[in-house]
Structure 1
Amino acid sequence: MNQSAQLKRKLIYIAIILACIIPLYLLGRPTGGGDDAGGQLAQMRNAYEFSEANLGEISPASSTMKLATVGMRGVAATLLWQKAHEYKVKHEWDRLRAALNNISLLQPRYDKVWEHQAHNLAYNVSVQFDDYRQRYEMVREGTEYLERGVRLNRKAPRLIWYTGWFYGHKIGTSDEKKEFRVLFADDTEQHTRLANQGLPIFDARAEGPNNKPDNWLVSNLWLEKGAAMVDAGVKLRRITAINFFETGPKAIFKFAEAIEKEGTYNEKTQDAWVRAADGWAEFGRRSLPTTSNITVRLGALEDRLEEHGRVFDRFKVLCGPLYTEREKELVGTLTGTYLDVYQKDPKDRSKAEQRLMPEIKRLIRPDVKLLLAELPADKRLKGIELIDNMIQLEDRIRRIEGYREQINYSYWESLAMAEQEERTIEARRLIYEAKKFADNAQLKESLEKYEEAFELWAEIFDDYPILTIDDSADDLYESVRQYMIALDSNDLPEGFPLETFVELMAEESYARVEMYEEVRETQKEKAAQRRRELEEEERKRDAADAEQAKADAEKAAEMKAAEGNQDTSRDAAAEKAEAEDKPADAQATEDKDNAAEKADEEPVAEGDKISEGQAVKEEAAAEKQGANEAGSDETPEQPTSDGNPAGEAAAENQPPPPAESN
């Protein structure tokens, strides 16, 4: 009886087992290729893309490793993680590599393994070496480890994002970034490996100023690849959409900053900033999911504000005079500064007062729900519709502003606009050249470059005050300190263009932007007042100079008239003297002629007769010619009754010359 019962139970167990095998086979039957879709589980894996082929590359070694652990994969992975840490502490790098390889075989689809261990190699292990070349090799091993994880996890956008961030951050911001960037640009082996993974590494989008791949641009390529994957429908995990999509454009910003610090200031720099601005604008147009059921676009803030304003204006029109009455009542409640600012002409409001206006408008804005209660019955339905629309827009605007503030959207937008201007590139170039001159002990040239750069930076900060919180503002502040050292002075020169910037650099907060605007505006008002005072002083000086010039002209005219009278008196005296001299000259000529005739009549020796007569004639002719010449050129001095020459007597009768003017 007992044996029969045992046999029956065994047969029942066998039947149950056979009955279970059949559905298990039907459920878990693998695909047979072709039209054979396999069992139900295989079909579901294909439908939800959970199969090994859908998740990434198939690794036979990984599958073998998992089977060899006989269900103890978790225990084996835990032991390997402990061993990896032990090998790192003991600096047993070969064993560490082997342990990490085994971990990746046991957990190939767990993306956190790849992130953690790649970070371990590139950040923690690399710093244990002294030579930067060895450090770069460990960084490269970390990137290779990540790329293996990407190949095995094609549905892990965060892993792709982390790879892109890795290329930018570790190579581009570490202490050895200068050497790392050069080594990466010359690492043809790594370039080939990246090209084999489908990255356009040799495209112009990845080339730096030296026409070689740049790590920041390669970072951007990885991040664009991850963004394309998400756009194709792959869901994000363990990272927010806003942080995922913002990193790509920021890599272009970092690329532009890097080449500027390396001394590249040409059209390639400007193109880099234009590309960064375009990338940021595209990011602003992207629809980003939020914690609620709506999406937002960070670049659409102005559009949403305008739309809200249009809806609100329609509500005001619907309310009619009722809205104006309630608004006037609220305006009457304003006091102090708010009332003064509200009553001031908008053109006369300062920047600080303009920032108060949104708060003032909020205070004098009537409650729309209270207005709705006072509306006639035939207008309430339309009012409810408009109010509901305004509430939805306000919620969207609030979320956009929150996300923009979270990533400092306005700063990056302003930075892209400012940096692509030629004057900004020129200002940075001047600072770079000034430092070069200072390093070569050429202080005069260095000071000239610094002063030119500071003038440009003052203009840039006036137009983009938000740049005073930029990282490069610290570098500029250090340049000012170097300028003061070159001047051998602890004080800034009078009229220094960046005086406000230097004074506010100690403020480590965003309030520095507002303070800069306020102080600069105050300084502009003072400068305008001083300019008006100087213009008034200049006008007074011009008037005084004009009066002095008029007086000098009148005095010069008087002097010229006096000199004319003096010349006239002198001419008259000369003519009178010439007239008096003419009879005397005629008498002298007649006496000489008579003497010559008398001499001709006297008897002389025959030899002397001719010579003496000839001599007398020649002498008379010479005297006559001399008298004629003297009468034509100048009047000879004739003795007067007191023995003075006639010319001196005439001079005494002339009026005295005018005194010299000081």
Structure 2
Amino acid sequence: MSSRSTFNRKINYLAAIALLLIPLFWLSQPATIATKETPGSPGGKLSRLRDDYQLSQSQIGEIDPTSVTVKLATLGLRGVAANILWEKANDYKMKKDWTNFGATLNQITKVQPNFINVWSNQAWNLSYNISVEFDDYRERYRWVMKGIDFLEEGTKYNERQPRLLWDMGWMISQKIGKADEKKQFRKLFKEDDDYHDRFDRPTALRDNWLVGKEWYEKAVEMVDNLGVSMMGKSPLIYRSSAPMCQMSYAEGLETDGTFGEVAKAAWNEAAKYWQRYASEGISTSYRREDRLDEPVMIRLGDKELEEKTARDLLAQLDALQPGLREKIVAEKRAALTDSRREALDTPLEKRTGKQLQLASEAADAIAVTHNEVARRITGPKRKKALELAKKIAKHEQLATYVRRYRNIVNFDYWKKRAEIEQSQEMLNARKLIFQGDRAFSEGSLIAARDAYRDGMAEWRKVLDAHPELVSDQTLGEYLLEVIKRYRRILNQLDDPFPEKFILQDVLDAQRNLYGESPQTEQNQEKE
């Protein structure tokens, strides 16, 4: 091989390398930020793709240069590097070496910034698991906020991941608002200028429930506007979180001693949020009959409409041949065994255990479906009857789906609660009971007794206007605690408990639920 041919080959190689630099420059040119002097640039093709798909580069330059991790990450073994860091983090956690634990978490995020479990799991560790290791509630709050700040950093690296936004809402609303130290945490959160100043948030909006609601709403907006997945979250629960935060905010105001128009406005806003939630489409776990690959969509506010539509169609079906349904029932009843018929005729409260079972079997046996009625109709009306039966079944099924989903989130309770809490009687009752609690804690027994008595009188007005609340379990538990404190005050004042107690029906309802008699409770208080 001549020296001339070798030289030519080298020239060709250099020319090829030079040509390859052009597409490499086009592909990998970094993005630049605009300044006053120079305009910004979106960068090359790879930079634009990262921006379009919200992908971030691994911050390899920020990894500890003396560690094995940076060597692995540089060689493309980021998964192995991340596993090593996870093991180190767990080891530091077991040793309660919080400084190195936090530093290791930061290293993990540089290696795997788009792995959302890094952010959600370790934020939970900081806010829930590590914070409880400290005795001072201020130090616990500081670690709770470390977890929140850590998770917020993750939202910047993963701008198309609604799960992290939802987790932010959960951390701020639930961890601060439901912790054992919630009174102190909520106060510290409102006064946390370092956190709120980043968002230019006014003082009136610094309540943890309102801030949590804000993050929940961002998560829902991302799903609705960008069409991204809820990441395994139930649509029913996912969409209920922001309205429930508003409910908790209204509750929190009254717990903190804020009543009147401010509390009323908060409950009014909660009612609006709940109504909006009722009108949103919810994807269910049920499948459409005509398209098995698509879920049945419902609206929580449609139960009454579906039930009314079914009743109207049912009336049309029965009008095609009046008395037919009753005739079919009579035929089925006549075919029952004597024991089943006897059990069905026996009043419910007098049935034996065996008769309860027989009566249930008999009720199933004489039940008449709409399709049965339609098939018994003959002549030109038969086709219409079959169509009506099919429509009735469809609307009844939808009403059943809605009812089941409403029960999961206690929809009817919160709907009614948001409405009732706005009444003047309820506002008065809450305020008076709060005043009674405060007087009791200060040792002012007479003032506490009078406030409780007046507060329960206001509760009586509320219950008379809404008798269904008497047997409500959640409300009953609250009132039972109020009554117990009232009894304790009367005992300390040597005052007798009223024979005709104003909330006796509430006590009776609780006794039926828990099998505890008011008299027994009174004796326990005296002891």
Name the structure 1 match of 2:50.
52
Name the structure 1 match of 2:457.
455
Give 1:372 deviation, angstroms: 2.7
Name the structure 1 match of 2:207.
214
Name the structure 1 match of 2:238.
244
Equivalence map 1:432-511=2 (5 Å)? 432-462=434-464, 463=466, 465-466=468-469, 469=472, 471=474, 473-488=476-491, 492-505=497-510
CA 1:485–1:308 in structure 2 vs 1: closer, same or farther (change >3 Å)? Answer: same
Are 1:275 and 2:269 matched, yes or no?
Answer: yes
SS at the partner of 1:441? coil
Give 1:140 deviation, angstroms: 1.0
- Is the CA contact 2:429–2:458 (under 8 Å) kept in the aligned structure 1? yes
Cα deviations across residues 478-534 of structure 1 (Å, max 9, x unaligned)? 22122112211697421102223234435668x99xxxxxxxxxxxxxxxxxxxxxx
SS at the partner of 2:395? helix
Equivalence map 1:124-163=2 (5 Å)? 124-163=129-168
Q: Distance in 1 between matches of 2:42 and 2:439?
A: 76
Tell me the amino acid that sits aligned with residue 379 of structure 1: K
- Is the CA contact 2:432–2:451 (under 8 Å) kept in the aligned structure 1? yes
Q: Distance in 1 between matches of 2:253 and 2:79?
A: 47
CA 1:472–1:256 in structure 2 vs 1: closer, same or farther (change >3 Å)? Answer: farther
Tell me the amino acid that sits aligned with residue 50 of structure 2: E
Give 1:378 deviation, angstroms: 2.3
Q: Distance in 2 between matches of 1:148 and 1:215?
A: 19
CA 1:247–1:36 in structure 2 vs 1: closer, same or farther (change >3 Å)? Answer: closer
- Is the CA contact 2:123–2:147 (under 8 Å) kept in the aligned structure 1? yes
Give 1:161 deviation, angstroms: 0.8
Equivalence map 1:414-429=2 (5 Å)? 414-429=416-431
CA 1:449–1:335 in structure 2 vs 1: closer, same or farther (change >3 Å)? Answer: farther
Cα deviations across residues 163-198 of structure 1 (Å, max 9, x unaligned)? 011110111111111111111111122112234xxx
Cα deviations across residues 337-362 of structure 1 (Å, max 9, x unaligned)? 977999xxxxxxxxxxxxxxxx9999
User: Which residue of the other structure, out of 174, 180, 184, is the alignment partner of 1:179?
Assistant: 184
Tell me the amino acid that sits aligned with residue 281 of structure 2: S
Cα deviations across residues 424-469 of structure 1 (Å, max 9, x unaligned)? 1111111111122223333222222211222222343451534755
Are 1:289 and 2:292 matched, yes or no?
Answer: no
Are 1:367 and 2:372 matched, yes or no?
Answer: no
CA 1:387–1:491 in structure 2 vs 1: closer, same or farther (change >3 Å)? Answer: farther
- Is the CA contact 1:319–1:371 (under 8 Å) kept in the aligned structure 2? no
Name the structure 1 match of 2:85.
80
Equivalence map 1:105-124=2 (5 Å)? 105-124=110-129
Give 1:247 deviation, angstroms: 0.8
CA 1:94–1:254 in structure 2 vs 1: closer, same or farther (change >3 Å)? Answer: same
- Is the CA contact 2:56–2:113 (under 8 Å) kept in the aligned structure 1? no
Tell me the amino acid that sits aligned with residue 407 of structure 1: V
Cα deviations across residues 142-181 of structure 1 (Å, max 9, x unaligned)? 1111111111111111211110111101111111111111
CA 1:298–1:490 in structure 2 vs 1: closer, same or farther (change >3 Å)? Answer: farther
Give 1:329 deviation, angstroms: 5.4
- Is the CA contact 1:164–1:223 (under 8 Å) kept in the aligned structure 2? yes
SS at the partner of 1:505? helix
- Is the CA contact 1:467–1:473 (under 8 Å) kept in the aligned structure 2? yes
- Is the CA contact 2:333–2:366 (under 8 Å) kept in the aligned structure 1? yes
CA 1:325–1:60 in structure 2 vs 1: closer, same or farther (change >3 Å)? Answer: closer
Whose RCO is larger (CA < 8 A, sep 6+)? 2
Q: Distance in 1 between matches of 2:93 and 2:489?
A: 48
Name the structure 1 match of 2:218.
225
CA 1:368–1:504 in structure 2 vs 1: closer, same or farther (change >3 Å)? Answer: closer
Name the structure 2 match of 1:168.
173
Name the structure 1 match of 2:305.
303
- Is the CA contact 1:62–1:108 (under 8 Å) kept in the aligned structure 2? no
Q: Distance in 2 between matches of 1:63 and 1:234?
A: 31
Tell me the amino acid that sits aligned with residue 480 of structure 2: Y
CA 1:35–1:492 in structure 2 vs 1: closer, same or farther (change >3 Å)? Answer: closer
CA 1:54–1:337 in structure 2 vs 1: closer, same or farther (change >3 Å)? Answer: farther
Structure 2 gaps of 5+ residues are 1-15, 32-40, 64-69, 288-294, 349-360, 517-527
Q: Distance in 1 between matches of 2:188 and 2:43?
A: 52
Cα deviations across residues 359-416 of structure 1 (Å, max 9, x unaligned)? 9999876333333332224222222222221222222122111111122211211211
CA 1:89–1:324 in structure 2 vs 1: closer, same or farther (change >3 Å)? Answer: closer
The count of corresponding residues between Structure 1 and Structure 2 is 452
- Is the CA contact 2:267–2:422 (under 8 Å) kept in the aligned structure 1? yes
Give 1:113 deviation, angstroms: 1.4
CA root-mean-square deviation? 3.6
Q: Distance in 2 between matches of 1:309 and 1:341?
A: 28
SS at the partner of 1:289? strand
Name the structure 2 match of 1:257.
251
| Greater Cα radius of gyration, structure 1 or 2 | 1
- Is the CA contact 2:318–2:325 (under 8 Å) kept in the aligned structure 1? yes
Q: Distance in 2 between matches of 1:331 and 1:280?
A: 45
CA 1:266–1:72 in structure 2 vs 1: closer, same or farther (change >3 Å)? Answer: same
Q: Distance in 2 between matches of 1:57 and 1:412?
A: 40
Q: Distance in 2 between matches of 1:90 and 1:35?
A: 46
- Is the CA contact 1:114–1:146 (under 8 Å) kept in the aligned structure 2? yes
Q: Distance in 2 between matches of 1:113 and 1:271?
A: 40
CA 1:485–1:387 in structure 2 vs 1: closer, same or farther (change >3 Å)? Answer: same
Give 1:255 deviation, angstroms: 0.8
Name the structure 2 match of 1:191.
196
Q: Distance in 2 between matches of 1:60 and 1:282?
A: 41
Give 1:68 deviation, angstroms: 2.9
Name the structure 1 match of 2:12.
none
- Is the CA contact 2:62–2:110 (under 8 Å) kept in the aligned structure 1? no
- Is the CA contact 2:176–2:182 (under 8 Å) kept in the aligned structure 1? yes
Structure 1 gaps of 5+ residues are 1-17, 196-200, 343-358, 513-662
Name the TM-score, length of structure 1 as normaliser: 0.62
CA 1:189–1:274 in structure 2 vs 1: closer, same or farther (change >3 Å)? Answer: same
User: Which residue of the other structure, out of 100, 106, 109, is the alignment partner of 1:101?
Assistant: 106
SS at the partner of 1:290? strand
* Farther off after superposition, 385-394 or 422-431: 385-394
- Is the CA contact 1:368–1:387 (under 8 Å) kept in the aligned structure 2? yes
* Farther off after superposition, 161-170 or 371-380: 371-380
Tell me the amino acid that sits aligned with residue 481 of structure 1: K
Cα deviations across residues 211-263 of structure 1 (Å, max 9, x unaligned)? 35111001111111111111112222121101100111000111111111111
Give 1:130 deviation, angstroms: 1.9
SS at the partner of 1:295? strand
Q: Distance in 1 between matches of 2:42 and 2:452?
A: 76
